[in-house]
Structure 1
Amino acid sequence: MSTPTPRPSYAAVLRVPHARRTFAAALFGRLSYGTVSLALMLSLTRSTGSYAVAGTVMAVFGATGVLVSPYRAALVDRHGLRRALIPMALLYGGLLCALAELCRHPGVPAAVLAGAAALAGACTPPLGSTMRAVWAEMLPDRQLLQRAYSLDGVAEELLFVSGPLLVGAVVTVAPPAAGVVLSAFLVVTGTLAFASSPAAALLRPTGSEKSEGPVPGRGGTGQGRALLQPVVVAACVGVSVSAVDLLVVAYAGERGLGDGAVAWVLAALSVGSAVGGLVNGAVTWSSPTRARLPFFAAGLGLCLAVAGLAPGLGTLIPAVMCAGLFVAPALTTAYLVADESAAPGFRVRAGTWCNTAVNAGMSGGAAAVGLLVERLPLPACFAVSGAVAVAAALVPGRRRRGAAGRPGNVSRRPSRSRRRRRSPSGANGRP
């Protein structure tokens, strides 16, 4: 009589061998992403005395990080976690320390600061997408992987809340540049611990083998078409979420509410996202991931449209919290669909394309909503922001050709050809 499979749960995920150590190390390194933006902005503002220069340098830092991210992910896929991530982290940490030193000397030309920031952003190690790829290797059962991705997403949400609080504590006893150095320490230490975990060896390099296309939409046996749905949904969720920040500020200003009201509403969005992520991971879904993804995107959009009709703070907070309930599930499901669509040797890049889409959507959404607020009533702005997410729900989902064996909630077993490809030999050996 066979032993019954334990019921998938968050505890079961963390009981997998090496899961806790690997996840904790990756989170320690990813905390840097929650601290670096505020620490670097404060350092640049104090050094240059100009918000315009500080904002420009930060924009350059973010832009190079987003634009180069697929290529950094390709290095991890091709050369393995250890050979790619460790040099990236050391270089990134060194450049952050160089930026901190430059900020200690007022009068440094803005072009020098922007150049150093561009180099640092280009070297940012893709810890998030790599950790999700390691999760997928550790957990062949799709239900456990769903819970792992949900846990990962909620933890990342908390990192971006706790990171600025940590910087706030640091700058009360040290200059802001110390926060930049702290960010470098976090990412280097976390990456070294992550790469030294036995689970890191599960992510085998592809070496010189060709993957099925480097980017979505670029040929290659349907790889791009299969990634279209999760990438578009991730981008549109980014647009909608970034719009909330500015729309809530405008809402508070229009009604004479203080900054504290803005903080409460944005906190409600984060709380809703965390709760939604945990519930999504705990539910055993009967529908496939590609069918759930449009539902989450549409739910976010409709709740945002309703939030624009809120007559006061007492109704806006619960409405925004309801919208937050769909944020983490939408992103988690997008990552799951991307993983299901990933060809061998493309897993880190597939997750990175979703992550890049979120960041690009957040940047573009903030700029677009800034223009809309000056031209349309606030309820209409909320409706437009929600309509972006609803539109993403209309994008058809297509499986990658040959991926029929990896549907939503069934256990995934590597094909015979994939097992042969992963045998330790030549370029495909353990990193």
Structure 2
Amino acid sequence: MSASASRPSYAALFRMPHARRTFAAAMTGRLSYGVVSLAMMLTTTRVTGSYAVAGTVMALFGAMSVFLSPARAALIDRHGARRALIPMASLYAGLLTAFAVTAWRPGAPVPVIAALALAAGACTPPLGPTMRAVWGEVVQDERLLQRAYSLDGVVEEILFVSGPLVVGAVVQTAPPAAAVALSALLVWSGTLAFVLSPLVAGVRPPAARTARGGHGGRTGRTTLRRVLARPVVVASGVGLSLGAVDLLVMAFAERHHHGAGVVAWVLAALSLGSALGGLLNGAVDWRLAPGARLPLLAGALGLALLGAGLAQSLGALAVAVACAGFFVAPALTTSYLMADAAAPAGFRTQAGAWVNTAVNAGSSVGTAGAGLLVGRLPLGLCFAVSGAAAMAAALACARNARTPRPGADAGNGVAGGARPEVTDGARLPG
């Protein structure tokens, strides 16, 4: 499908045939991810009466979900969304349903619910990377693709804010396990509607084209590792910073004798800033290539967090955190765009999955690191350390950009053999 007007808008995305239906289906399935973590945590706590057990179960679920994401994405690239996602989503939804049934009443055996959580995490469908890969296949205008990725990131932010609200509404009238069952229904119905969309059905498995084109799997994987270094490093740095901020905001509220409820408002300011930054990032026709923008965005995030360390009141902290959030979605969107542009044919979904894994893994490490630092260092210095993580990633990205590699475009981070980014706004087909 060809690019649209001279300056395509967000609305141009949904004028593409079946785009609105496909995007809505994917977001329905991804709402499950905003619901499931809190729902499983509340369910496990209610069943076992132990926060330690609940934390362990969630760590198992999260680790399997995050670190196996590239392997699941490889199945999408090899077999196509329809053949891979339907069995994956059915198994995942079935395991969540089994978890909900087992943990409906207190007293369920801990090994059983832990095993079900572990297995469900291993099967989590990579709907986000797959949706972005579909956008990359059907959108041929680089500016319109930027808007697609930006909108995707903003809506995902809204879903992760909305998910806990959905859980809160469910537990008013039913056990927390009912929210786990709702998560299973959302992911299964959303995935089914997504893969049955004509837009998704029209995208052939990239690996099939790769086989005919002679681009070997081993060569593709080697190229993928090389070209993903910069977006993955920045995504990791952003994740580290964000994971630390969640815990540091809680510590700030406690030290200033505010109730736990105000934490949600400060973190909502972070999400609001991210959503606004994402929408603006998508609407601007940038002159700088993504490879040049990426370290600037990550560095600006780090500087904003340094400013948050100087806050002396909750209002000032909320403003500083919102300013930091303003650069989160643009940095991640740019990372995804770079990964998509540089991915060899047949590896597009995996490229996005690696960036997604880097964000989530960085967030987990950031939270754990902040937990070790709080109480040992002044809180302002802890915020400075969280900002330094993003700035270090920015410096590494910028340094990598200035180090040419044989067969690579160091300015854009696109390796030889990948689909290059051209300067007039159009993107060459893969």
Say whether the fold is shared (TM-score over 0.5).
Answer: yes
Post-superposition Cα deviations, 1:53-109, rounded to whole Å, max 9, x if no partner, equal 111111101111112111100000000000000000000000000000110243333
Q: Would the alpha carbon gap of residues 150 and 409 (structure 1) be closer, same or farther in structure 2, given more than 3 Å must change? A: farther
The residue type paired with residue 388 of structure 1 is: A
Structure 2 Cα separation of the partners of residues 336 and 408 of structure 1: 15
Partner of 2:110: 110
DSSP 3-state at the match of 2:244: helix
Alignment of 1:129-140 (within 5 A): 129-140=129-140
Decide whether the 8 Å contact of 2:341 with 2:419 is kept in 1.
no
Matches within 5 A, 1:363-378: 363-378=364-379
The amino acid across from 1:412 in the alignment is R
Letter in 1 for 2:321: V
Mapping of residues 158-173 of structure 1, within 5 Å = 158-173=158-173
How far has the Cα of 1:5 moved from its partner? Answer: 2.9
State the shift of 1:183 in Å. 0.4
Q: CA deviation at 1:316?
A: 1.3
- Structural mapping, 1:16-415, within 5 Å: 16-205=16-205, 206-207=207-208, 209=211, 222-394=223-395, 395=397, 396-397=400-401, 398-403=413-418, 405-407=420-422, 410-414=425-429
How far is the alpha carbon of 1:251 from its aligned partner? 1.0
CA distance in 1, matches of 2:393, 2:354: 16
Residues 4-23 of structure 1: pairs in structure 2 closer than 5 A = 5-23=5-23
Structure 2 CA distance for partners of 1:135 and 1:408, relative to 1, 3 Å:
farther
The answer to which of 251-260 and 13-22 deviates more is: 251-260
Give yes or no for contact 1:35–1:179 (8 Å, CA) kept in 2: yes
- Is this contact kept in 1: 2:223–2:344, CA < 8 A? no
Structure 1 residue runs of 5 or longer lacking an equivalent are: 419-431
Cα distance in 1 between the residues matched to 2:139 and 2:220: 29
Distance 1:269 1:15 in 2: 31
Structure 2 CA distance for partners of 1:166 and 1:404, relative to 1, 3 Å: closer
Aligned amino acid, residue 348 of structure 2: R
Number of the residue aligned with 1:421: none
Which secondary structure does the structure 2 equivalent of 1:256 belong to?
coil
Give deviations 1:7-37, integer Å, cap 9, x for gaps: 2111111111111010000001100001111
- Cα distance in 2 for partners of 1:324, 1:4 equals 31
Q: Is the 8 A contact 1:227 1:350 kept in 2?
A: yes
Q: Separation in 2 of the partners of 1:69 and 1:252? A: 34
> Measured at CA, do residues 48 and 13 of structure 1 come closer, stay the same or move farther in structure 2, by a change above 3 Å?
same
Superposition RMSD on alpha carbons, in Å?
1.8
Distance 2:221 2:263 in 1: 46
Looking at structure 2, the residues matched to 409 and 117 of structure 1 have their Cα atoms a distance apart, in angstroms, of: 48
Q: Single out whichever of 188-197 and 388-397 deviates more from structure 2.
A: 388-397
Deviates more, 1:254-263 or 1:49-58: 254-263
Change (3 A) 1:211 1:235: farther
- Are the counterparts in 2 of residues 271 and 324 from structure 1 also a CA contact under 8 Å? yes
Displacement of 1:364? 0.6
What secondary structure does 2:68 align onto? helix
Q: 1: CA distance between counterparts of 2:322 and 2:67? A: 31
**Structure-2 separation of matches of 1:301 and 1:213:** 37
Which letter does structure 2 place at the counterpart of 1:76?
I
Aligned match of 2:410: none
- Offset at 1:112? 1.6
Residue 220 of structure 1 and its aligned partner are, at CA, apart by 5.1
Alpha-carbon distance in structure 1 between the residues aligned to 2:58 and 2:247: 18
The Cα of 1:164 is off from its aligned counterpart by 0.9
**Cα offsets for 1:102-126 (capped at 9, x unmatched):** 1024333322211111110000000
**Which whole-Å CA distance do the structure 1 matches of 2:382 and 2:202 have between them?**
46
Cα deviation, residue 409, structure 1: 6.3
CA offset at residue 406 of structure 1?
2.4
* Identical residues among aligned pairs (%): 63
Name the amino acid aligned to 2:55: G
Contact 1:212–1:221, Cα closer than 8 Å, also in 2 = no
- Distance in 2, Cα, partners of 1:286 & 1:221: 30
Deviation of 1:211 after TM superposition, in Å, equals: 6.4
Question: Is the contact made by 2:239 and 2:363 (CA closer than 8 Å) also made in structure 1?
Answer: yes
For 2:409, the equivalent position in structure 1 comes to none
CA distance in 2, matches of 1:105, 1:295: 51
CA distance in structure 1 between the partners assigned to 2:223 and 2:67 by the alignment: 23
Deviates more, 1:22-31 or 1:404-413: 404-413
Q: Quote how far apart the aligned CAs of 1:221 are.
A: 5.5
Task: State how far apart, in whole Å, the 2-side matches of 1:199 and 1:307 are.
Answer: 44
Maintained 8 Å contact 1:285/1:409: no
Aligned residue pairs: how many? 410
Q: Distance in 2 between matches of 1:4 and 1:252?
A: 48
Instruction: Verify the 8 A CA contact 1:293 1:333 in the aligned structure 2.
Output: yes
Using the TM superposition, give the Cα deviation of residue 212 of structure 1 relative to its aligned residue in structure 2, in angstroms: 6.4
Mapped partners of 1:369, 1:408: distance in 2:
41
Matched to 1:239, the amino acid is L
Distance 2:330 2:9 in 1: 16
Normalised by the length of structure 2, the TM-score is 0.92
TM-score for both structures, normalised by structure 1 = 0.91
